[in-house]
Amino acid sequence: MKKRTFRLPTQTAAIAAGTVAGIVGGFVKLGWENVLPPRTPDRDKVNPPMTLLHQIGVPNKILDSTYTYSDHKILWPSLAVHFAFSTGFGVFYELAARHIPALKAGHGIPFGLAVFGVFHHGLLPALGTVPRAKDQPVEEHLSEALGHAIWMWSINELADQLLAAKTKA
């Protein structure tokens, strides 16, 4: 008797792979920022995700919400933005690459660098969330550029592995 396998539609599989890879990519980016912190401790007292939430009017009651782990108070709204961004881009990348395969060139690294440029040199400074690119220290540019490259590389590689595993059978 022939074994039946369930295959997800391509779009559904891309969404699933992008979601899982985006979450893992979020952890990769957090780990990277512990090795090469992008901001000085003074500038990181209120990080860009928290600044953005404040700018769009999220109440302080929510912004100040924490959970405690190992005696550390963690601001969960900042992590929510971080993982929503990473997961959203993981899904977008996988869906867009179905129509524009060139996005996968360089294992996603050029795409990650483009995201860095658009957000850290364009959108976030334009919104006043972070200083203008020329006013940011070189350490911040280096950390963010390399961080976005390794972030998208990890999303690309994991999603490719997940999709390959789904199509084998």
Block mean pLDDT (10 aa), the chain, length 169:
60 95 98 94 90 96 96 95 98 94 96 98 97 95 98 98 81
Give pLDDT, residue 43.
87
Give pLDDT, residue 9.
55
Give pLDDT, residue 1.
62
- Going from N- to C-terminal start, the domains of the chain cover 27-46+79-167
Give pLDDT, residue 116.
98
Give pLDDT, residue 45.
87
Residues 101, 82: Cα–Cα separation, whole Å? 26
Give pLDDT, residue 44.
85
